[in-house]
Structure 1
């Protein structure tokens, strides 16, 4: 059977999403805010009006217009995707030839490396400092020296939670001789977006997603770029990539102008409470843990033995993500955060 599998896939280390039966899920960076009953009712009504025998709108026009209205970007510069993952895969296939170089930072979203392998690109790694920071000047110098075809990084970063300023991102865009892709999956929780610059920039693509702000089930992402890059994106994507059910539900989700700002604020408050509680734990157990600053909906924590802490949390019915020798902990509901902190106290007291 292996004779039918390409060597590049045999070498691939797959992305492994957390699948478990824990009662408290704090491992996938989903929103802790459920949709309102009224929104669910409206989505149900939309479903009743669908023509299930017809293909969806190939450009997801209404959804792009609603997204554009929220983020002040004209819809003609927006491409909708089946999650931003589809768009990341697409840009590797459209803008990078086999054997060409792609600059990625380490640590960062692991799918970038996977797509490098899938499309047989050569990854050029910029290793971050011990505090997970990196120098924009160093990135520019490395990209130009290695003649990379594309730079891609998440800002704020998954999994570190940290980010670089809008000015630093634009410095990279303006001084790099290649395409720059800024994955802003978590930018709803920060204020350093460059999405407004993408339509006019010659070498910038910004990626956004609805998954972190309450629409993970819908798998909906967007690429924002100038008209030429957008045309290439649209010509290369699958004809009906965003299904009608997602488009119908998203029209309600994005169309509820009062819901999203409130939900995002609630997620940020949950994150801030979680961060402060973890920092208080650090004060008590400074020799056992370190909490990193965050601009996302999660907090990264390094423990002396993160794997052991992860397994013990799971035994208590709490799932978190073990990554880069740390635990990435999604901000949950107030009750979930409280249970997590109490459980960590028990674990650290006896470790």
Structure 2
């Protein structure tokens, strides 16, 4: 494995640049912004630089969306309860999320990507795959393109990004995490299996804490351990995931970078500071969530037909209600009307709730919503 961190290097002239077409392989880059939301907060408020910063709510029910690397040194992590994070790092500074700002920065970064290739597959606001097998500028080296992209992101946004370069998506994503933050890692053809063999299985995409525990109980802790199990063993213990695990343990991934990767849903949820059962209070919470989601919908240019309301009770049991139209939701007013109608269906509540969420799904990026006529309003049983 060739790992490159920090400083720029000269363009590779070796024949085994990842994705060498003579070997029928792709040149894939995975770019992942470093602690994206927290880094934007530190960039915009210089007083926060070098300090432990968390983005998220700091109340008793708050959860970290992300945190700076200074906070991670204390053991703070994304999705950690805020109360736990504050116990680990008493000096932790909380900032509320500013998704409109993060979306604008993400759009700026994607414009940089598209200067080098039209084949960009965003995974979220802060990461994307790029296929540069045939790049737009004729540079020819995936390594050099990754370096140029990282340098431009730094110069144009003031933020750092890590990148992985390899011959398929699975390996490129693993590589981007290898030398974080502000690092570059390259996995060349012929090096994938050895790279994967040395990794703990928890680094594999799709293997969470429970999967890691299950594998440990079966004596599987590394990629090498996984590669040592045959397909019949994997199918017996992991069912439909077996084929993926078999290929991943060997560094194999045949998926193409999909430039127009379909987004499945747009949504948001809010964990409440205290349990709420009042219909008026819940309607206020829902109104705030609708504002956040509609900004995301407009930013993404999404059009969807299904609205889903989620309520999580104090005992963590969950209640959902959904409504689907025969056409895309017309506008924010109709989206809000559906959301409030779904809430009205479950009021009064049998028990208080600790979380409220709303989602627009059944997305069609090409569809255009028709105006909500009086006849179409009949689809909503107010």
Give the TM-score, by structure 1 length: 0.30
- Looking at secondary structure, tell me which structure has more helix per residue: 1
- Structure-2-length-normalised TM-score: 0.28
As a proportion of its length, which structure holds more strand?
2
More RCO (CA 8 Å, sep 6+): 1
Flag the structure with larger Rg. 2
